[in-house]
Each structure stands twice: as C-alpha cells, then as structure tokens.
A and B are shown apart, each in its own frame.
Chain A
Amino acid sequence: MTVGAGRKSEPQSHTVLIRDFKYVPETLTVKTGDTVIWKNEDIVPHTATTRGKGFDSKNIAAGASWKYVANRPGVYSYICTYHPTMKAKLTVK
C-alpha cells in the first residue's frame, strides 16, 4: 500500500452527489492527494462538514459543487450542518 508521498499513480478525482438529502456514496475511500467533489443536486443548500479536524465546505448552493484535495490521511465522518441528520464518511488512505 502506498501512503502519502509514496503513491505511484496519478491523483484521481471522485464525486459525491448530494441528492434527496443523502450523500451518494455515503462512504468513500480515496488516496492521499486525490480530489473529492461534492455536487449538490438538491433544490436547497447543504454543507459537507467534519465535526473536528478535517474540512468544511460551508454553503454549497443548490446546483453548485465544492472541491476538496484530500491531503491528510484519516477517517473523516462528516455531516451537513444545515441538516445534521445527513451523515457520511470519507476515508483518506
């Protein structure tokens, strides 16, 4: 397994759809250095926000996207701060 700077392949891009008040997929594993794009397909704004250290998209408007480069390995549980019962997990290897 390659970790961090040790990766041999090109960084990849992954998309998480926010649709019908769900993150699709709800669990996603990426490699360090990959990009994750959250695309909000709902008619209302959402966020993708970790509770502690991690990331915070802030407001992702209806139809908009937010891009994050996963630079730190770890397991990140995140929620939508607007609709806190929306939950998902990003694993960065």
Chain B
Amino acid sequence: MICSLRTNASVMMAALLVAMSVSTNTRTTAAYAIQQDSDKVSDANIAAIVSVAGGLDIAYGKIAMSKSKDRQIREFAERMVTDHSAVQNAAVELLTRIGVKPEENETSRGLAANGVKVKEQLNKLKGKEFDKYYIDNEVAYHELVVNATENLLIPGAQNAELKSTLVSVLPLFQKHLEHARQVQASYGRKGGMDNHKMGMKH
C-alpha cells in the first residue's frame, strides 16, 4: 500500500483505470496502487461492483469466442464465460437470499465506463492485434479484480456470508490471473514481434 495517497474509492478507481489503459499499449505489468477505503463501501455497493465486474468479463469473453482465431485465446475466453457466469449466478442467489440490492457507486460506475471503452476496442481490432489486446486486458482486469477483492470487497463486506463468499471466490480470480499471464506469455512468444524490439530477448 502506498500510504501517501488519500484513502477514497475514487483514488483507487483512478489508479485502476490508469493501469487498465496502460495495459493496452504495453506488456509491462502495471503496478496497481489500490487504496482501499473499505469503511465506505456498503454490501449494496459490493453487490454492484461484483455484478458489473463479472458482467464485463463475460462480455469480453463472448466477443473473443466469436472473433479470435487463436485456439488458446478462444479456450481461455470460454473458460472466463463459464466461470464468471457461475460466480454471477452464485452471487445473485446469495444476494437475493440475504436481501441485498445492488447499489451503484463510484467504483461500479468507473468499471462500467472503462468496460465501454474496452468493448469498443475489442469490436474494432482484428487478428493478432485483437488477441493481444484481449489477453493484455484480461491480465489487467484480473489484477484489478484480485486486488479489489482482497483490499476493498472482503474487508468491506458486512454480511458474514457475503464476506465468506468473497473469500471463497478469490482463488478463482487468482487462478484466472495466473492463467491469463500464462496465455499472455505464450502469445507474446508466438506472435508478438513488437515485444522484442527493445532488444530484451533474442
């Protein structure tokens, strides 16, 4: 944690958004300066963040499944759609049962706005450019989700069952992140000529 930053959700969101847009131009793993303010996030806010975030990755995955010609990318995308749909269903079931209605907030709105931009790019790009953008964004997205779950959502959750559910889906997000990095690395070796221009390898 970078302590000099002010602690509020907008700072966190700004950091996340910067990191996400950076990832579209470079392979560098963005350093996320997440600044949690878990005191200010309600269970209803958490519900909205989870729902928006999950919905976005499902949407990205569906675009990749229909557009990419790379088998590895398509399989990864299919996995994201399957797993995040399972999480969404479990979340809806839980939230209905404990009577929490999603309530928009700065973070969920920021995520949604960023998602619009990402979808625009995904719809526009083609071929290897598409694959690279998709997988780079998946790495950035899952870094964001892992960090937000650890530092904002879990500490912020008030309902015990909501908290324990978030704890139990964290490994899923972490595995997705490892998997995304694996695909990104192999994709870079296969097709990413531009990644070696700096003379770092070969």
Contact = CB atoms under 8 A, between A and B. Distances in A.
A binds B: yes
Interface of B: 79, 82-83, 86-87, 90, 168-169, 171-172, 174-176, 178-179, 182
A35 B90 CA distance: 32
Contacts of B175: 21, 83, 85-86
Contacts of A44: 82-83, 86-87, 172
A22 interface: yes
A56 to B, nearest CB: 16
A26 to B, nearest CB: 14
B171 A21 contact: yes
B92 to A, nearest CB: 12
Given A21-B175, A44-B86, A62-B86, A83 B168 contact: no
A20 B179 contact: no
A83 B178 CA distance: 9
What DSSP secondary structure best describes chain B's contact surface? helix
Given A20-B168, A20-B171, A82-B79, A43 B178 contact: no
B82 A22 contact: no
Interface in A6-58: 20-22, 42-45
Contacts of B182: 84-85
Contacts of B172: 21, 42, 44
Contacts of B86: 43-44, 62
Contacts of B174: 21
Nearest to B172: A21
A84 B76 CA distance: 10
Given A83-B79, A85-B182, A22 B90 contact: no
27 contacts: A20-B168, A20-B171, A21-B171, A21-B172, A21-B174, A21-B175, A22-B171, A42-B172, A43-B87, A43-B169, A44-B83, A44-B86, A44-B87, A45-B82, A82-B79, A82-B82, A82-B83, A83-B79, A83-B176, A83-B179, A84-B179, A84-B182, A85-B175, A85-B178, A85-B179, A85-B182, A86-B175
Contacts of A20: 168, 171
A57 B53 CA distance: 31
A43 B90 contact: yes
A91 B198 CA distance: 45
Closest A-B pairs by Cβ, 10 of them: A21-B171, A85-B178, A20-B171, A44-B83, A21-B175, A44-B86, A83-B175, A43-B86, A43-B90, A82-B79
A75 to B, nearest CB: 24
Contacts of A82: 79, 82-83
A80 to B, nearest CB: 9
